[in-house]
Structure 1
């Protein structure tokens, strides 16, 4: 799908969003700058959910990647696969995410993270069985943060897909067979 709204150029950017683009120089943010007041209000929340939540980084990225697969969001997958690698997530784990929680190689905890995302995206809730697996390992804060991360990145995927934001240059989308193509 072509972009429905083009990313704003430097000349078009409102002054209120210029500091954001210094930290987040991505097409997503340049596109969301069409609604500058909302972007300025939303970004502190988005940064907190991404960078300051209580989940371990690896597990957070597995959840975000699973959201991207379920939403068929090439942009979200591409940036977070790259970030996952930078954070040391094993390449085999990244490659396994599209195949879901029942794919060979996941331990029960990792499978529960992916299953929780699948359940939230299909039924707007986590099943009791999946919750029990997660609750046996995680703090209450981590459990709630998994819900926040999933909801936040579902929203981001909706924005990206609905606006037709194109992946960043040199950042591949979802593996073949999992995207919108």
Structure 2
């Protein structure tokens, strides 16, 4: 059928089939702040199978624990505002055409007050009307990182001026983390 997503390359793990190591990670994910965050759909389906990138983390629980810990840090333990964080995540989701991340984070962004015009600009890579200089700096840094993998001296200086060194470091890390998830979701054909 045209337009339908390709079939998943990784079956969803059923909770009853998990090893002890997988179960520890599974329980940790379902007990994390991301499981209770406002989402357009729950972290696990009605049979308890994890959605999105979290199911794949069960393939290697050591890597899964490290990834989920990094994800928790970039999502919940930085100095970025919730709006700044969602702007950077949606810049990645739009650039990488990551439908799962777009569904989850556009929902969160709306709850943070981002407008439909801002979301459309983020999704398509176009103009985004952000009045706040720090929000503009986050978007400009994220987009340049996504396009080139680096920041020019001018963009670096402007980002430091608007965000400071620590917040810029957090943006760089956040972009890298969500880009990694987007690659995993794409290769494993995860739809949600």
TM-score range, shorter chain: 0.7 to 0.9
* TM-score of the superposed pair, with normalisation by structure 1: 0.81
Q: Counterpart of 2:8?
A: 3
Counterpart CA distance in 1 for 2:159 and 2:124 is: 20
Matched, 1:77 2:82: no
Q: Counterpart of 2:40?
A: none
Q: Deviations over 1:25-72 (max 9, x none)?
A: 341212321222211232112101111111111011111101011111
Query: Which structure is higher in RCO with an 8 Å CA cutoff and minimum separation 6?
Result: 1
RMSD: 2.0
SS at match of 1:70: helix
Matched, 1:113 2:113: no
Q: Deviations over 1:70-125 (max 9, x none)?
A: 1111111111111112233333322221233x516344834432232222122211
Matched, 1:20 2:20: no
Q: Counterpart of 2:89?
A: 64
Residues 65/104 of structure 1: CA separation in 2 closer, same or farther (3 Å cut): closer
Is contact 1:68-1:157 (8 Å) kept? Answer: yes
Q: Counterpart of 1:179?
A: none
Question: Tell me, which stretches of 5 or more residues in structure 2 are unaligned?
Answer: 1-5, 36-42, 44-49
* TM-score of the superposed pair, with normalisation by structure 2: 0.77
Question: Tell me, which stretches of 5 or more residues in structure 1 are unaligned?
Answer: 168-181
